[in-house]
Structure 1
Amino acid sequence: MTTPETGCSTTAAGQALLVRLDRLEPGRPHRRLMFQGGLGYTFDSFDGALMGYALSAVIVIWGITAGTAGWLLSSIFFGYLVGALGAGLLADRFGRRRLMMCALLVFCVFSLLMATSSGTAELFLWRALSGVGIGAETTLIAPYISEFLPARHRGRFVARTVGFLALGYVLAGIAAPLVISPHPETGWRIAAVLAAAPVLLLLWWRKNLPESPRYLIARGRIDEAAHVVEKFERESAVAGHQAAPADEDTPTSGAAARPAAPRERNILGQLAALWQGRTARTTLVLWVLWFILTGVNYGFTSWMPAMLVAAKGFTITKSFVFALVTALAQIPGYYVASALIERMERKWLIAAYATGATLAALGVALAEGQAALLVSSAFLAAFTNGSAAVYYAYTAELYPTAIRTTGMGAASAVGRIGAIAAPITIGYLYQSVGFTNVFLALVGALAVAVAVIVAFGEKTAGRSLEQLEGTTA
């Protein structure tokens, strides 16, 4: 039976751990987490991009119509939606680490089965089921890592982790001409196997991932949280009392140091909590951002190779090379964002990137030559993908620990709805209004995203997760 005295001491112990965690200078264990989480994003984007190229080849080889092709290109996002929402809800109840491991296993199994597909329906099914694993994985990495980091470094570390997505796109751009182009009929199947292989290594490597100490404290598991914090202090070569002292920019008292009280909610209660008090406005803003920015990004990525072949007369190989150049442009997009994220308020940085993407989409729509098309596409890829480095970190900051992965999962799921709708819509729009008008439609959607974040976005930079929890309650 828990006594009042025990409850107070537990709260004090959790409070002390949060202070130590927020004062600890990032060191080797934080960098290791960033690298492990980053490789997860790398393999996820590698699969998404490589299979986008593979499906573009399948569309041509199998003579699939544009409308049906849109559904096939969207197949993975149906799985993303289920995986993101399910993992977010479950990770707030059962822990971040366990769900991340399960997600990798699901992805591996169904990616391998995808290589055996003999028809469009079967390919759609296996691709959607593999997307469940990827959707869960990408949803959990950012909030998981953010819960280990102090306020003054959180945005930069999370942005750099998300920036590993660019590496996967580049590797896919290199692999596609080598694996798919020489023999597209069998090359796309080899690509499916290749996309799954690196995740097996990551699954083994993550056996020793720690559970989030903030999650453990929120669940009342203070001893386990203390073990994680002490391990991080040892590996960073400091004792708890030697961690960086608090200063005016590092709030560690009051709301900043108050652990969330353990509280059981059912699944409907977790979702309902996203729409209570000021959190409702946060949820609405994030859902609009994720729907538009994710939809534009994946709609562009999924359709660009196929549209270059159909509308611009490119060969499959040339369209892959074109896509590789745009993938390379993502790297500066991500890393400029990671350099600016602690210098600018997050909402203004998202607005700046969305504005850049709007102008780039307009450039694609109006481009008359291949050089102008390439430059505009490169900027569009840089801005849409670079914005992800900010809005992933931003979303993970805005929800309290007890519903953080629920909030992240719901926002990511809404983003996947955008990613489902965009390729399907583009498929039908392209048939009826053509290449230019497709990108003019993207311009309008991006302009809405800019207006929403400027008018309603919250400020988060330099504030601890516990302090933000107090302001969004």
Structure 2
Amino acid sequence: MQHSIIDAEPYGKFHRKLFFLSAGGPFLDGYILSIIGVAIGGASRDLGLTATQEGLVGASALVGVLLGGLVFGWVTDRIGRQLMYTIDLIALVLSSALCVFVDDAWWLIVLRVIAGIAVGADYPIATSLLAEWLPADRRGRTMGALVAAWFVGAATAYLVGYVVASVAGDEPWRWVLASGALPGIVILLARLGTPESPRWLLRHGRRDDAREAIKTAFGRYPTDAELDVLAAQEPPTKSRLSRVFTGGYLKRTLFAGGFWLCQVAPAFAIITFYPVVLGEYGFSDGNSALLWSAAVTLVTMAGCLPCIRLVESWGRRPVIIWTFVASAVPLAVLGFFPALPAVLAIIMFSVNALAQGGGNILQWIYPTELFPTDIRASAVGVASAISRIGAAGGTYLLPVSLEHLGLGPTMLIGAGIAVAGTVICVLWAPETRGRSLHDTASTGAATASAPSRV
């Protein structure tokens, strides 16, 4: 098949800018979901939170992410990527800023849900827009690199918490939560003027608008022949959410949501309550726990880096399978030996973090590659929503599990979830490296690609 103008265009200035703008969403997600672990101590004291309420506060943003992805993925497929690309950040900025006025637990929970909805909406919006502009030979590594931005955001949250706690203790926890509004405003303003996806425009019969979008991005108008090739790949189609759950796409939806759930259920729970979990190993000094939390989060980001390359050279399938295996083993060690010395516990958490970081890059590669343009954002939203069921459940149950079951059984539950993820990927993970977005999204095409080692 002849390459489209998008696949033929070399990766350049426009792609790099769009990547950084799209990475703003994962950065804010990591920041907002992790900053609650910094603020929970002060909030619990001032608002008199019970263990159950602490779990609800920690999980509330994840519930919002579930709702945001599920609803606004479909909306994005209907009204376009570019408009939603800015609207969702307005909601995020407002919900973060209003945390300054929180005076009871339910008010805090509601604002965290709204912030989560905005973050959840950004997942399908930003990933679909970026994937639809990327050439095939750079799509895997660029989409995978988005995940690294999440960990940068999480580490930044812990470092901000450390600085604030060192200067003022946990008294200004409301301002710590509200601090997410500042990077949100910067990213919102930078996103203004981003061109719409020409693939989406062609799916909606807007050929002239697609031509203008390509001119804005690449500095030249496409020829009629170039636009014809792209239009042939993106025929006008009405977006129907039901397609995500029918035919060959149902299995892909279950795969994408299933492996994502198994990755984030233990990861979000541990990351959200890193200071609490590390406290079980003797890091009773809150500031020390925050620094270790930032360090382990940066280790997770470091795990992304080699796998960003490996998904193109080794393949998507072996990377996701072996990173699940590598994340299960240290959690099992922590579960069977909960009395490990603090240094050894940190090593185990770091090994788990490296593996988690490597596997997590597939979260925004597979869902964008396995579905066509008319339902791509919907599918990413649904997969994200499925994953957040596990993430919200894990985050809500972790403090409860620590209180009632203890540290060892809690870590063994995390290891069991990682084993389940391994099984899902062995059975269902396709290999999509090296193929055009049109090919990987065609039912049945994604499994027949360059051979991999698994």
Moved more, 59-68 or 31-40: 59-68
Query: d(CA) in 1 for partners of 2:281 and 2:43?
Result: 17
Per-residue deviation, residues 30-57 of structure 1 (Å, max 9, x unmatched): 1111111123322331222123211244
Query: What is the CA-CA distance between 1:132 and the residue it aligns to?
Result: 1.0
**What residue is the counterpart of 1:248 in the other structure?**
none
Aligned CA distance change for structure 1 residues 372 and 257 (closer, same or farther; 3 Å):
farther
Task: With the length of structure 1 as denominator, give the TM-score of the two structures.
Answer: 0.88
Query: What is the CA-CA distance between 1:191 and the residue it aligns to?
Result: 0.9
CA contact (8 A) 2:70 2:385 kept: yes
Paired residue for 1:263, among 197, 222, 237?
Answer: 237
1:116 aligns with 2:101: yes
Query: What is the CA-CA distance between 1:450 and the residue it aligns to?
Result: 0.6
Query: What is the CA-CA distance between 1:88 and the residue it aligns to?
Result: 0.4
Please give the secondary structure, in 2, of the residue aligned with 1:147. helix
Aligned CA distance change for structure 1 residues 306 and 58 (closer, same or farther; 3 Å):
farther
**What residue is the counterpart of 2:451 in the other structure?**
none
Aligned CA distance change for structure 1 residues 424 and 39 (closer, same or farther; 3 Å):
closer
Query: d(CA) in 1 for partners of 2:50 and 2:386?
Result: 27
CA contact (8 A) 2:325 2:419 kept: yes
Query: What is the CA-CA distance between 1:397 and the residue it aligns to?
Result: 0.5
**What residue is the counterpart of 2:213 in the other structure?**
228
Query: d(CA) in 1 for partners of 2:283 and 2:233?
Result: 59
CA contact (8 A) 1:297 1:385 kept: no
Alignment of 1:188-199 (within 5 A): 188-199=173-184
Please give the secondary structure, in 2, of the residue aligned with 1:342. helix
Query: d(CA) in 1 for partners of 2:414 and 2:382?
Result: 23
**What residue is the counterpart of 2:382 in the other structure?**
410
Moved more, 284-293 or 312-321: 312-321
CA contact (8 A) 1:61 1:185 kept: no
1:49 aligns with 2:25: no
1:353 aligns with 2:323: yes
Per-residue deviation, residues 171-192 of structure 1 (Å, max 9, x unmatched): 1221111113543443211212
Paired residue for 1:281, among 251, 265, 269?
Answer: 251
Query: d(CA) in 2 for partners of 1:369 and 1:423?
Result: 25
Query: What is the CA-CA distance between 1:58 and the residue it aligns to?
Result: 2.4
Task: Write the letter of the residue equivalent to 2:235.
Answer: A
Query: d(CA) in 1 for partners of 2:358 and 2:181?
Result: 25
CA contact (8 A) 1:47 1:196 kept: no
**What residue is the counterpart of 1:465 in the other structure?**
437
Please give the secondary structure, in 1, of the residue aligned with 2:236. coil
Paired residue for 1:290, among 260, 269, 272?
Answer: 260
**What residue is the counterpart of 1:363 in the other structure?**
333
Query: d(CA) in 2 for partners of 1:190 and 1:105?
Result: 18
**What residue is the counterpart of 2:5 in the other structure?**
20
**What residue is the counterpart of 1:247 in the other structure?**
none
Per-residue deviation, residues 153-203 of structure 1 (Å, max 9, x unmatched): 110111123322222122122111111354344321121222111111111
Query: What is the CA-CA distance between 1:364 and the residue it aligns to?
Result: 3.2
CA contact (8 A) 1:337 1:390 kept: no
Query: What is the CA-CA distance between 1:125 and the residue it aligns to?
Result: 1.0
Query: d(CA) in 2 for partners of 1:435 and 1:201?
Result: 40
Ranges in structure 1 where 5+ consecutive residues have no aligned partner: 1-14, 244-251
Task: With the length of structure 2 as denominator, give the TM-score of the two structures.
Answer: 0.91
**What residue is the counterpart of 1:435 in the other structure?**
407
Aligned CA distance change for structure 1 residues 139 and 51 (closer, same or farther; 3 Å):
farther
Moved more, 175-184 or 316-325: 175-184
CA contact (8 A) 2:47 2:103 kept: no
Task: Write the letter of the residue equivalent to 2:105.
Answer: T
Query: d(CA) in 2 for partners of 1:223 and 1:297?
Result: 45
Aligned CA distance change for structure 1 residues 287 and 348 (closer, same or farther; 3 Å):
same
Task: Write the letter of the residue equivalent to 1:59.
Answer: S
Query: What is the CA-CA distance between 1:350 and the residue it aligns to?
Result: 1.0
**What residue is the counterpart of 1:65 in the other structure?**
50
1:187 aligns with 2:161: no
Task: Write the letter of the residue equivalent to 1:96.
Answer: R
Paired residue for 1:316, among 250, 270, 286?
Answer: 286
Query: d(CA) in 2 for partners of 1:452 and 1:393?
Result: 17
